[in-house]
A and B are shown apart, each in its own frame.
Chain A
Amino acid sequence: MGYLQKKVKEIKERWTVTEKLVLIGNGMAGIRTVEEILKKDASRFQITVFGEEPHPNYNRIMLSSVLQGDSTVDDIVLNDYNWYEENHIELLTGDPIVKVDAEKQVVYSQNGLERSYDKLIFATGSNAFMLPLPGADKEGVIAFRNIKDCETMIETSKKHKKAVVIGGGLLGLEAARGLLNLNMEVDVIHIADFLMERQLDEQAGKMLKTELEAQGMRFHLKKNTKQILGKDRVQGIEFTDGTSLETDLVVMAVGIKPNIALAQEAGLTTERAIVVDDFMQTNVNQIYAVGECAQHRGIAYGLVAPLYEQGKVLAAHICSENESLEHGYQGSLVYTQLKVSGVNVFSAGHFQDSKETKAIRVHDEFEGIYKKVVVQDNKVVGAVLFGDTSDSTRLLSMMRNGDDISAMSKVALLPSESGEAQVSPVVAMADGDNVCDCNGISKGAICSAITENGLTTVEEVKQCTTAGRSCGGCKPLIADLLTLTTGEEVGNMPEPLCGCTEYTHEEVVAEIRELGLSHPREVMNVLGWESDEGCSKCRPAINYYLKMVDPIKNADDPTSRFINERAHANINHNGTFTVVPRMYGGVTDSGQLRKIADVADKYNVPLLKITGGQRIDLFGVEKEDLPNVWSDLGMRSGSAYAKALRTVKTCVGEQFCRFGTQDSIGLGVELEKKFEYINTPHKVKMAVSACPRNCAESGIKDFGVVGVDGGWELYVGGNGGVDLRGGDLFCKVKTKEEIIDTISAFMQYYRENARYLERTSHFVERVGLDQMKQVILEDEEGRKSLINRMEIALSTGKDPWKEIVENEELQKEFKKKQVEVLS
């Protein structure tokens, strides 16, 4: 297209879209309003969004989950850059608006951009309130409000030990929990005499304190901070009572302050926040406000559900031609849940007692449960739940509907107290009741989405309806609804292999077998992958499945392997690699040690370390040196990088030990030699101990062998890593041969039936030990054929280091080209 044509097109586009909408603030409330507008009339406005933070719209509520390490920043993005593009929205991040000219209807940004508008929405949210204490400007004094604050806390935790959180409310406690997860010592300073006094009564606040103290937080109640101590960086804080605390970080979480400076300059009426009517309209024509920066009937809300309700009303108002048809915003019922793992707290409505109210209280000191339901004029007006929040959805629904409870018993109000088997609260909900309060998605809407679109997983419901996309607290309810609607247990339903396909792991394997597929590209083509080339999740999985199904015929595809399995070494954070040579059963000799020492000197290896698997790591080797290092070592690859057998750890056993009753080293070496270089769905670790003292830690290995008087015990599915799990006793046998056969059959069963990247610990739990015993121990024929297939797979195993050392062509990938530019 020529320049002129382009220009004409641009001008046409500009003039055919009659109305321009500018949104100031790229956060949850504003973008939700835009989503609602697009839903109603996608082509009506030409939309421009200005955001101060350099990110697309993310879920601010989930920041605590990022800090606590349960999510990454990527996980909490709600609308990625593609979304803006697809909806033709002009997004300007990192560029706040600095001036609004309400007469000319133009906004001006910090970077000098101008945009005129027909309608303008303020969604500027709020800022953290920083206590104006002496020293509050020191380095290491921050708020907990945005991604940058989160990053600062994570960075600080790497260098410093002590943190103080000022504020024992919702946000402060979530920040404190996050800092604990970052291995910091955390002191929480709070001005009131119990925690979360704005959401909880004294009893619940005290129980919460006990619970959080058990998690490691230290509390200082009824304390006023006088000043922050230190030079450039904070070193401590001093209280008004003269006492003080040492600290390396101060997080202020004392509240939020609506961000209204720009609105004031623009001439909008403000009190605590921008004053709006029932249609989110400000006093100035064509200017609206929504979210935390808006004040409706005297209330500026700081929670997500009200903001979303406001967004809906505002969108309806902006898009409708006839105002009188609409139903305006009537205010929201406020409720909160604390997002701290291991603590269930819920609070809603008017939970404080007064002269007009009566309350039902349940306090179970044995179980650590406290419930209070506040009743006024035979209606539930508020509730506090601690320890067990399973009644929260029902109570909220009763409050919203204003149900008359005069005829109800206590058990009907709090059914979880009846002691009977619990029925999911969704059963009792009406179709119009919201399941996801954050996004305002009703039970009826979710049920029809499930039946109409054939949804089967919580993730699909989330994608389709947005339910569960914000705080995620309703996910159990969605799962219950899926069960209810489809009649199937959701927990057992397999997920697709990755985002490129609808096929599950099991279905992909079945198709590979059935259609005789032999290359990853072929699999993706035939099964209609959404992206031709797959991704970093599915490609390694497919490559594994192909080799597993036919280890002889199907060739390995190196381009589908993660770098560690291509370079046969572990990549480090700085791009260097770690070399781990095989030491069978953890046994070495002076010759090997001498070679390792010589290699370490020759290649300037910066760190030698003994691994947990009883061998030696050579850290920090340059990629181009790898083939020479292997050649000089003259040892075999230890597969420390592979989805394969890693190590067989052994104790010394009968060779020297005064207790050992078996030859643990001998068996360990034999196992390692037999199974080295067999590919498995995930890494596999083994151990052999010669007696129940278990010095080789056989109880936390994928396969753990323990010598007992006159035989061996085999434990399976143990794991010492992320999900600590003790192995299950699988069988007790007399001979080494039986142990080797059983491991062989088990490992082949695992190879054939586990999903790629599923450790044996999860596999055992999913399939069930009885089922495995049946196949591997009791079915003699089945056992034999498993062992046979394992032998075939083992016959293809090769030492990759030796292969590369002996083949110059294969060494090419390791070389680095150096080019000098002559000037």
Chain B
Amino acid sequence: MSKVDQLKRVEVAALQDLSVGIGKRVNVSGEEIALFKQKGGTVSAIQNSCPHKGGPLSEGIVSGEHVFCPLHDWKINMKDGQVQAPDVGCVKKYEVEIVGEKVYIFVD
């Protein structure tokens, strides 16, 4: 956790603004980040740019903990940022903290 301590905690959304199955875009000081609310009420945050051609992942079809990029259908795990086989790569993943209704992420 020591690394997280050095990062900045930023409030990015209210829990009620997010809905399961639809991504949400947030721009944090120029960084495009996609937020996804999961069934259990947790939230994942990943870089909003597919490693393939930079497609906005926030607009993709969500399937459980995976999102399909809207441009060419790459499948990305939003929990660990890993691109699913047969494609390869990963997107940046952000730590998320939920306090009451507020959703925070940690950025450097």
* A residues whose Cβ falls under 8 Å from a Cβ of B: 54-56, 73-75, 77, 80-82, 531-536, 539-540, 558-563, 566-567, 571, 573-575, 623, 812-813, 816-821, 823
**Residue pair B59, A533 in contact (C-beta under 8 Å):** no
Within 8 A of A (CB), among B75-98: 75, 85-88
Q: Are A819 and B64 in contact (CB under 8 A)?
A: no
* Contact among A532, A536, A571 for B68, CB-based, below 8 A: A536
Partner of A819, one of B26, B59, B60, B61: B26
Closest A residue to B85 by CB, please name it.
Answer: A80
Rounded to whole angstroms, the CA-CA distance of A74 and B74 in the bound complex is: 10
Nearest chain A residue, comparing its CB with the CB of B29 = A821
A534 proximity list for chain B (CB < 8 A) = 63
A575-B55, A816-B25, A819-B11 known; A559+B62 contact, CB < 8 A: yes
Q: Does B8 contact A (CB under 8 A)?
A: yes
- Chain A contacts for B66, CB-based, 8 A: 533
Q: How large is the interface on B (under 10, 10 to 19, 20 to 34, 35 or more residues)?
A: 35 or more
Bound-complex Cα distance A682 to B55 (A): 23
Contact call B63/A562, Cβ cutoff below 8 A: no
* B60 and A563 within 8 A (CB): yes
Is B51 part of the contact surface with A, judged by Cβ < 8 Å? no
Q: Give complex CA distance A410, B86 in Å.
A: 48
Residues of B within 8 A of A (CB): 8, 10-13, 17, 20-22, 24-29, 53-56, 59-64, 66, 68, 70-71, 73, 75, 85-88, 107
Contacts of B70 in A (CB 8 A): 562-563, 571
Chain B residues in 8 Å Cβ range of A81: 85, 88
Q: How far is the CA of A687 from the CA of B102 in the complex (A)?
A: 53
The 10 closest A-B pairs by CB, nearest first: A559-B21, A80-B85, A536-B68, A533-B64, A77-B86, A563-B59, A533-B63, A575-B56, A74-B86, A563-B70
* Pair A816/B63 contact, Cβ less than 8 Å: no
In addition to A74-B86, A82-B85, A533-B62, 12 A-B residue pairs with Cβ atoms within 8 Å of each other are A56-B88, A74-B87, A80-B85, A535-B68, A559-B20, A559-B21, A566-B22, A571-B70, A573-B53, A817-B26, A817-B27, A823-B8
Residues on the A chain within 8 Å of B12, using CB = 817, 819
* Residues of B with C-beta under 8 A to A536: 60-61, 63, 68, 73, 75
A813, B107: Cα distance in complex, Å: 24
Count chain B CB atoms within 10 A of each CB in A536, A558, A823 and give the residue with the most.
A536
Question: In the complex, A77 Cα to B86 Cα: how many Å?
Answer: 7
- Report the separation of the CA atoms of residues A535 and B68 in the bound assembly, to the nearest whole angstrom: 8
Q: Which residues of A contact B27 (CB under 8 A)?
A: 816-819
Contacts of A813 in B (CB 8 A): 22
Q: Which of B13, B61, B85 contacts A539 (CB 8 A)?
A: B61
Residue of A nearest to B62 (CB): A559
| Closest residue on chain A to residue B9 by CB atoms | A821
Bound Cα distance from A531 to B75, whole angstroms: 14
CB neighbours (8 Å) of B20 from chain A are: 559
Which residue of A has the minimal Cβ distance to B28?
A819
Kindly state the separation between the CA atoms of A567 and B24 in the bound complex, as whole angstroms.
13
Q: List, sorted by A's number, 21 A–B pairs whose CB atoms are closer than 8 Å.
A: A56-B85, A56-B86, A531-B64, A534-B63, A535-B63, A536-B68, A539-B63, A558-B22, A559-B21, A559-B22, A559-B62, A563-B59, A566-B22, A573-B53, A813-B22, A818-B26, A818-B27, A819-B26, A819-B28, A820-B28, A823-B8
CA A75 – CA B56 in complex, angstroms?
Answer: 23
Closest residue of chain B to A532, judged by CB?
B64
A74, B86: Cα distance in complex, Å: 5
| Chain B residues near A535 (CB-CB < 8 A) | 63, 68, 75
* Closest Cβ neighbor of A540 among chain B residues: B61
- The interface centre, meaning the residue of A535, A539, A817 with most chain B CB atoms within 10 A of its CB, is A817
User: Which chain B residues border A818 with CB–CB below 8 Å?
Assistant: 26-27
Contact A560 B8 (CB under 8 A): no
Contacts of A82 in B (CB 8 A): 85
Residues of B within 8 A of A558 (CB): 22
User: Which residues of B are found within 8 Å of A563, using beta-carbon distances?
Assistant: 59-61, 70
- How far, in Å, is B99 (CB) from chain A's closest CB? 16
Q: Which of A77, A540, A821 contacts B8 (CB 8 A)?
A: A821
Distance of B13 from chain A, by nearest CB (Å) = 6
Which residue of A has the minimal Cβ distance to B20? A559
Contacts of A573 in B (CB 8 A): 53, 71
Contact B25 A817 (CB under 8 A): yes
- Whole-angstrom CA separation of A80 from B85 in the bound complex: 6
Contact call A571/B85, Cβ cutoff below 8 A: no
Q: How far is the CB of A31 from chain B (nearest CB, A)?
A: 14
* Among B21, B60, B61, B70, residue most surrounded by chain A Cβ atoms (within 10 Å): B61
Residues of B within 8 A of A821 (CB): 8, 10, 28-29, 107
Asked whether A531 and B63 contact (CB < 8 A) given A571-B71, A821-B28, the answer is: yes
- How far, in angstroms, from A442 to B31 measured CA to CA in the complex? 56
Minimum C-beta distance from A762 to chain B (A): 21
A807 to chain B, nearest CB (A): 16
A290 to B55 CA separation, bound complex (whole angstroms): 41
Q: Is the CB of B13 within 8 A of A77?
A: no
- A819–B21 Cα gap in the complex (Å)? 23
Residues from chain B with a CB closer than 8 A to the CB of A56 are 85-86, 88
Q: Cβ of B85: which chain A residues have Cβ within 8 Å of it?
A: 56, 77, 80-82
Q: How far is the CB of A575 from chain B (nearest CB, A)?
A: 4
- B66 to chain A minimum Cβ distance, whole angstroms, is 8
**Smallest Cβ distance from B14 to chain A, in angstroms?**
10
> Which chain B residue shows the least CB distance to A74?
B86
Residues of A within 8 A of B13 (CB): 817
Contact check, B61 vs A560: say whether CB atoms are below 8 A apart. Answer: yes
Residues of B within 8 A of A567 (CB): 59
- Measured in the bound complex, the distance between the Cα atoms of B61 and A721 in whole Å is 26
Cα distance A533–B63 in the bound complex, in angstroms? 5
Which A residues lie within 8 Å of B75 (CB)?
A: 535-536
**How distant is the Cα of A820 from the Cα of B27 in the complex, in angstroms?**
8
CA of A541 to CA of B88 in the docked complex: distance in angstroms? 27
Q: How far is the CA of A817 from the CA of B102 in the complex (A)?
A: 14
Which residues of chain B are near A77, meaning CB under 8 Å? Answer: 85-86
Nearest A residue to B69 by beta-carbon distance?
A536
Q: Give A668 to B24 CA distance when docked, in angstroms.
A: 40
Name the residue among A56, A540, A818 with the largest chain B CB count within 10 angstroms.
Answer: A818
CA distance A39 to B64 in the complex (A): 34
Query: Cα distance A495–B63 when bound, in Å?
Result: 22
Bound CA span A535–B24, Å: 19
| Closest B residue, CB atoms, query A536 | B68
- Cβ contact within 8 Å between B10 and A819: yes
Q: Considering the complex, give the chain A residue whose CB is closest to the CB of B82.
A: A81
- Tell me, in angstroms, the Cα distance from A571 to B64 when the chains sit together: 23
Measured in the bound complex, the distance between the Cα atoms of B56 and A823 in whole Å is 27
Q: Residues of B contacting A54 with CB < 8 Å? A: 88
List residues of chain A with CB within 8 A of the CB of B71.
571, 573
Q: Chain A contacts of B73 at CB under 8 A?
A: 536
Which residues of chain B have C-beta atoms less than 8 A from A623's C-beta? 25, 59
CB-nearest residue of chain B to A538: B63
A83 to chain B, nearest CB (A): 8
Cα A131 to Cα B88 in complex, Å, equals 33
Q: How far, in whole Å, are A818 and B68 apart by their CA atoms in the complex?
A: 24
Inter-subunit contact A562/B26 (CB<8 Å) = no
The chain B residue with its CB closest to the CB of A55 is: B88
Closest Cβ of chain A to B67, distance in Å, is 9
Determine the residue in chain B with the shortest Cβ distance to A624. B25
